[in-house]
Each structure stands twice: as C-alpha cells, then as structure tokens.
C-alpha cells in the first residue's frame, strides 16, 4: 500500500480533532490515541444508543434494523452481548482452527496452480466467507451466495446501497430458524435465546445477524488482503516469520494496527458537550478515529511503517472499551493461520497489479484497502 502524507497529522498536533463533513452534518473526529481510548470508555458522554448513527455516515438507506449489540449502551449492551458472545469464541476450538487451516491450504494450492490470483475476490473473500460458515455452524455451501456479494457487501461498484440482498438472506435464515429453533447454528440461537426472560423480537434477531455480516465481512477481507500485499511488497518478511513461528502473533497485531480495517466509528452526545474547545449540542456526533489513533506518533514509533516485531502494541484495530469487537478472536485466528501457512508453504509473493481503495470525504482522502490485488505465489522447494 503506497505511503501518502497523513491527512490527520496537523489536526492531531493542533487540537486532536478533525471536523469532517458527512451527508450534511459535521462530525468531529478524535485523532489522538489517548483521547479515543477515553471516549470509547465514556459511554455516558459519547453514547452508542443511537440506531443507524454509530456507523459514519448514517446507514438508514442500507438497513432497516438497529445493529445489536453495537448500537446500545451498558447495561443493555452488556446483556445483549452476553447472549451471543460464546458463539463468537467458537473459533478457539481446535477442530474449527483445523478446518480453517485446511481451507487456507486449499486456497493456496489453487493460487499456486494458477499463473496468478486476484486476492480480494478469489482468495480473501472466499476465505472470509467459508470461515464464517464454520463460526456460525452453517453448511459451507452457504458461503457460495455470500461470495457473489463481493467486496463492500452493502454498496455496489457505483456507490448505491444494496443492503436488501443481505436482509433478504437473513430473513430466509431466520424464517428457517424460527421453524426449528432447536438447531445448533447461529440463527437458531437467535430464535431461542431470551433477553430479560423474553424471546428476542424479530428486529432484535435481525440486528444481531445484520451486524455479524456487515461488521465482520469487509473488515476481514481488507485485513487478509493487506497481509498478502505486505508480504508481496516486502520480500524478506516471510523468511523472518519462518525463522521463528512465535513471531506470528506480534506480526498479526501489527498488520491489524497498520491496516485499521474499520477506520472510525460514531458516537452521539446525549447532552451538550465540549470537545477540545468545540461546543457540540445534544444529538450531535463525534467519531472515534481508530485508524488515526493507530498512527499516533506519541504511542507508536514510526507509525506509518509495519514493524512485525513491534512491542508493546496497544493498537485499537478492534476498538476499545465495552464495544471492543466481538469477532476479534475469529479475525485473529484467520490472520494468524494465514501467516503460518504462508511461512510454511510460500517462498515469495509477487505483485502483478495493485489497485488501492480510497476512503474519500470532503475533509480527507486515505488509502484503506485494495480494490484489486493480483499476485503470483512461488512455493517452497520440496
């Protein structure tokens, strides 16, 4: 990923806040690592109890339900999260990790046999989708439909909302689950769990299901693709991991820090609040700038560089505080397994074509992912 001037550097040094216009409103983005961490913990001042307004810009055109548990505050958030959190730790099970390893082996074998492979759609999207079936305990063939959604699963190539295809799919799955709530998959869990002694409403179940896909899809695809790109552009990096596989966890965390797949997220001020000298009215939003905080030079030496041995690494790639990403365990297992398999099987990667994906707003433009990445893989000599 090409380096560019950090558009947040001056604002970080000045007040630590960047005013960002989004769809007719100005959202003040916190940029400093310390400020972002403190705000993420302070849900009384910066609330997530704001349907459709936690993602920035808002998502009224992309979905019809509040995402759960992310768009709630404690103690409601704590109770909602407790209902599903054990399911999201299933990837810690050895048998699921083994399936993920086998899947990556299969994808690498296919990539080696081809002259080249397009990573975003033909590798990362396939890996994310099929691995998600293992997490949700649904048949692997369910991923066939998800793969057709492509990257940016709620927005098409021309920026038009396509959330209806996700909601249609989720409604079909929930219809099935309500008819057979005794199943052992994620949708059946939603059909039978109880919140404060009552079943979840249909909208609540949809809110959990929507976030599982909308929040855990593109972020994972971005990170897996960024990892492949890094090792293709840095020829000695795989050899460094091969020398000692114990280096892989730290390398994984550094790639997540540098990629910051969810660049920022919104909070709403329930009452009038002053943010670094700017007076915000009740109902106005701030943004927690995860990506900007992860490049804070007061915390990370040479923050724009990937240092696979970076320690300590208090990155905010999975958020922070009560809303820390519920899918972090799953994402880490995917990335660590990919790095392990690359180190074991691949001598080197070579970039054939790289098309970056830019996050563009009126206040800034930054590279956040790859729209397209074509590589070749040279296997280790047997």
Q: What's the pLDDT tens digit per position in 5-49?
A: 567 888 999 899 999 998 889 999 999 999 999 999 999 999 999
Domain covering 9-379: architecture: Orthogonal Bundle (1.10)
Extents of the domains making up the chain: 9-379
Helical pair 202-214 and 163-179, crossing angle rounded to 10 deg: 130
Give tens-digit pLDDT for 261-285: 999 999 999 999 999 989 999 999 9
- How does pLDDT run across 140-151, given as a tens digit for each residue? 999 999 998 876
- For the cut 50, the answer to whether the pLDDT of residue 2 exceeds it is no
What average pLDDT does range 213-239 have in this prediction?
95
pLDDT at residue 60, as a whole number: 81
Alpha-carbon distance of 131 to 115, in angstroms, equals 25
Sign of torsion, CA 292 294 297 302? negative
What average pLDDT does the segment 306-310 reach? 97
DSSP 161: B
Residue 6, both tokens: 């950090």
Residues 6+ apart with CB under 8 A from 374: 116, 117, 118, 119, 351, 352, 353, 354
Q: Is 339's pLDDT higher than 90? A: yes
pLDDT digits (tens, 9 = 90+) for 160-214: 666 688 999 999 999 999 998 899 999 999 999 999 999 999 999 999 999 999 8
Asked whether the predicted pLDDT for residue 293 surpasses 50, the reply is yes
For the segment 102-133, what is each residue's pLDDT rounded down to a tens digit?
999 999 999 999 989 999 999 999 999 999 99
Q: Is the pLDDT of residue 157 over 60?
A: no
């Amino acid at each position: 990923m090409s380096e560019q001037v950090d558009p947040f550097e001056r604002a970080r040094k000045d007040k630590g806040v960047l005013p960002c216009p989004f769809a007719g409103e100005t959202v003040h983005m916190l940029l400093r690592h310390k400020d972002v961490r403190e705000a993420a913990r302070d849900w009384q001042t910066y609330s997530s109890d704001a349907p459709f307004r936690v993602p920035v810009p808002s998502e009224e055109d992309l979905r019809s339900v509040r995402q759960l548990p992310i768009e709630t505050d404690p103690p409601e958030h704590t109770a909602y999260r407790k209902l599903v959190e054990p399911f999201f730790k299933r990837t810690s099970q050895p048998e699921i990790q083994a399936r993920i390893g086998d899947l990556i082996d299969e994808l690498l074998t296919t990539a080696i046999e081809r002259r080249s492979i397009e990573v975003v759609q033909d590798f990362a999207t396939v890996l994310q989708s099929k691995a998600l079936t293992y997490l949700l305990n649904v048949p692997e063939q369910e991923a066939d439909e998800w793969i057709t959604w492509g990257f940016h699963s709620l927005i098409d190539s021309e920026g038009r909302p396509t959330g209806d295809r996700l909601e249609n799919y989720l409604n079909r799955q929930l219809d099935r689950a309500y008819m057979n709530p005794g199943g052992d998959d994620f949708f059946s869990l939603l059909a039978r769990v109880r919140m404060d002694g009552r079943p979840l409403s249909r909208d609540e179940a949809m809110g959990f299901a929507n976030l599982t896909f909308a929040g855990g899809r593109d972020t994972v695809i971005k990170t897996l693709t960024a990892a492949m790109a890094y090792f293709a552009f840095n020829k000695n990096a795989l050899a460094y991991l091969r020398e000692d596989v114990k280096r892989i966890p730290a390398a994984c965390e550094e790639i997540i820090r540098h990629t910051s797949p969810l660049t920022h997220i919104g909070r709403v001020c329930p009452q009038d609040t002053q943010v670094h000298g700017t007076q915000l009215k009740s109902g106005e939003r701030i943004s927690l700038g995860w990506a900007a905080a992860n490049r804070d030079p007061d915390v990370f030496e040479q923050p724009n560089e990937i240092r696979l041995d970076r320690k300590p690494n208090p990155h905010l790639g999975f958020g922070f505080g009560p809303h820390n990403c519920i899918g972090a365990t799953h994402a880490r297992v995917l990335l660590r397994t990919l790095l392990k398999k690359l180190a074991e099987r691949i001598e080197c990667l070579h970039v054939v074509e790289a098309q970056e994906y830019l996050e563009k707003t009126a206040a800034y433009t930054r590279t956040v992912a790859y729209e397209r990445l074509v590589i070749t893989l040279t296997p280790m000599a047997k």
